Chain A
């Protein structure tokens, strides 16, 4: 059973600070990792993908992957009230016959306090 674990929160961060979101995954064959942002009543929006160990930066967002520890994180710099949302971590793998569906964590609810 593939699992992705996230702290449900809420995680409260002051405006302008760094928000740090974490997740762990159970399946060692997972090769692709994604962070989605979901506002209440909306569908998930892809914000970062990462496939290799290390850091990947895109604007205010940095994704970090450590396959040895089966750990993925997302850092949001200069947090804004508009970043308040639920952040979903997802893991996927390629099984040869086609990419499997993504396994999602249940999400971390992030609140940016003005």
Chain B
């Protein structure tokens, strides 16, 4: 079974621009979560989507948004990029039902550099 895929793997953007990252979950996984990883803050939860609905959101500004499509693929968007947005953005997918506790499997990540 193929793992989580993320595109692009590397991205360089200029401050003020916007960026869209894409994630395809493991086949059969309907939950997709996004995380930001930086050396200083570690791994931080951005948001989670299930059946095209955002169920939970972390403590990030509104410049960070996302969506999920009917095939469970997900995108996240960051508008008005700041230097501090430089990070590894990780997507994780999981099998989940409302009564299950779940395991999350990470994709390879997108390395975003803002200059």
Do the beta carbons of A43 and B106 come within 8 Å of each other? yes
What bracket does the count of chain B residues touching chain A fall in? 20 to 34
Do the beta carbons of B101 and A94 come within 8 Å of each other? yes
CB distance from B94 to the nearest CB of A (A): 8
Cross-chain contact of A98 among B45, B56, B58, B107 (Cβ < 8 A): B56
CB-CB under 8 A from B31, the residues of chain A are 99
Given known pairs A44-B90, A104-B43, A105-B42, the reply for A99 and B109 (CB within 8 Å) is no
What bracket does the count of chain A residues touching chain B fall in? 20 to 34
Indicate if A112 sits at the interface (CB-CB under 8 A): no
CB-CB under 8 A from A44, the residues of chain B are 43, 90, 106
CB-CB under 8 A from B108, the residues of chain A are 42-43
Cross-chain contact of B106 among A45, A94, A106 (Cβ < 8 A): A45
Closest to A100 in B: B56
List residues 96-110 of chain A with CB under 8 A from any CB of chain B: 97-107
Indicate if A29 sits at the interface (CB-CB under 8 A): no
